[in-house]
Amino acid sequence: MTRENISSVHEALIVGGGIGGMAAAIALSERGVKVDIIDIDPHWRVYGAGITITGPTLRAYRRLGLLEEIKAQGAITTKTRLFKYDGTQLHDLEEPVIEEGLPATGGIMRPVLHQIMQARVKELGIYVRLGLTVSAAVNAGDGVDVTLSDGTHGRYDLVVGSDSVFSGMRELAFPHMGPAVPTGQACWRISIARPPELEFGEFYLGSVNPCGITACAPDQVYMWMLTAHEERERFMDEEELYTELKRLLADFGGNAGWIRDNMTRQDWINYRPLAAVLQPKPWYDGRIVLLGDAVHATTPHLASGAGMAVESGIVLAEELASADSVEAGLLAYQERRYPRCKDVIDSSMAVGRLQLAHGDPREHAHILEGALSRLNAPF
Ligand SMILES: Cc1cc2nc3c(=O)[nH]c(=O)nc-3n(C[C@H](O)[C@H](O)[C@H](O)COP(=O)(O)OP(=O)(O)OC[C@H]3O[C@@H](n4cnc5c(N)ncnc54)[C@H](O)[C@@H]3O)c2cc1C
């Protein structure tokens, strides 16, 4: 595919080499920008959960040239099936193929997805430095003067803050923004062997705590469950996580019941309180711009947070390539991303509120289907 080069940005610094940061790095590098990535994690790791890669997310990865790798190393499927929590089949979610040759939906283990993206970053010759963050970033003339946490300095035409929901770049350079807001829910996840009867993605509704299963490899799935978050004095240890998740699954049938009956203490289990926020505009200041959870953090209800981060990385590069100036490119990026991210966050939070209020599962399914079908529109 031929891509228009970006003439206004020669050197860019990406702060945070997660999903969004790597997507931006790849998209910018493919358009002729010399990209550096720094990441605070000295080992550039990601935790052992699975992740759902919806059709729109697969479409974004196809633009980055990574679809085939994801298909080969993850799992794809033609649909998601809705069940009542006891295992009674309800109906199938409408997940049309949105581009020829594109799978409807899929999943992959996060460490595998990171390896795929990291391999592409290395192939493009992007310079990656680890165990580092930004201590100061000052817009000066046509660039940004940056001081890193090891005391070194650099000057870049563009600095991209993609350093997670807890973004240090946001705190440093965007005083009109604030932290993500707790939603009152939490997400349980378990990575486990694939139940033998699992054919498609699965959602279980109608219980106080909805859950779902996504295949991530031929022999592996992850299951998530959303619950009301209860403040505890300390983190649960592995034994408590295991016992509590098993208890929460007590009434579930189908493959969710299979997971309850077959889970072991060796399976990876995680409990995470949820927080979300769509940060107010502007998403850029001079030549510093935010991307991914740093500026559009959502909850997992639509399984689209990572997809939004990848899309944002691509759109940033596209808009910089077609604009006459960096400022026009950043404004166009912000205006193109804001309504789409707002829809994802608003819809996800509406589903969350409904779940906390023990609302009608049909309304839950209706909001989910509406939002997912809007996401099928081009980004
Ligand atoms: C429970 C849960 C389940 C989810 N499930 C899904 C799903 O199924 N599908 C989906 O599409 N999305 C899902 N998401 C959302 C998805 O994980 C995020 O939207 C996505 O990871 C955001 O990517 P990011 O690059 O913005 O941030 P991150 O993935 O958080 O990456 C940030 C990177 O920045 C680095 N960093 C952090 N601080 C600094 C700093 N100060 N300086 C330098 N580097 C720093 C980190 O080490 C990391 O490498 C889920 C989220 C949660 C909470």
> Which CATH code fits 11-180+275-375?
3.50.50.60
Query: Please, are residues 316 and 184 in contact by the beta-carbon 8 Å criterion?
Result: no
Burial of 133 (0-12, 13-18, 19+ CB in 10 A): middle
Mutation to probe ligand 1, out of 36, 40, 58, 70 (largest number of atoms < 8 A from CB): 40
Mutation to probe ligand 1, out of 61, 163, 298 (largest number of atoms < 8 A from CB): 163
Q: Which string of DSSP letters, residue by residue, matches 157-196?
A: SEEEE---TT-HHHHHH-TT--PPEEEEEEEEEEEEEPPT
Whole-number Å distance between alpha carbons of 201 and 36: 37
Q: Is the CB of 303 under 6 A from ligand 1?
A: yes
Task: Examine the pLDDT at 323 and tell me if it is beyond 70.
Answer: yes
CA of 266 relative to ligand 1 center, distance in Å: 24
Q: Which tokens go with 157? A: 């035409």
For 277-288, the pLDDT digits (tens) are 999 999 999 999
Q: 282: cis peptide before it, omega within 30°?
A: yes
SS3 239: helix
Mean pLDDT on 236-255: 97
| pLDDT confidence tier of residue 178, bands split at 50, 70 and 90 | very high
Whole-number Å distance between alpha carbons of 365 and 47: 29
| Chain-centre distance for alpha carbon 193 | 23
DSSP β-bridge partners for residue 147: 136, 153
Looking at the chain, list the stretches that DSSP marks H as alpha helix, in order from N- to C-terminal side: 19-29, 55-63, 67-73, 110-123, 168-173, 238-248, 254-262, 293-296, 305-322, 326-356, 361-375
Query: Please, are residues 149 and 132 in contact by the beta-carbon 8 Å criterion?
Result: yes
| pLDDT confidence tier of residue 1, bands split at 50, 70 and 90 | low
Query: Please, are residues 364 and 355 in contact by the beta-carbon 8 Å criterion?
Result: yes
Task: Examine the pLDDT at 2 and tell me if it is beyond 80.
Answer: no
- pLDDT for res 96: 77
- pLDDT for res 206: 83
For 60-112, the pLDDT digits (tens) are 999 999 999 999 999 999 889 999 999 999 888 877 789 999 999 999 999 99
Q: Is the pTM of this model over 0.85?
A: yes
Whole-number Å distance between alpha carbons of 252 and 190: 15
Q: Is the CB of 40 under 6 A from ligand 1?
A: yes
Q: Among 50, 52, 111, which residue's Cα sits nearest to residue 76? A: 52
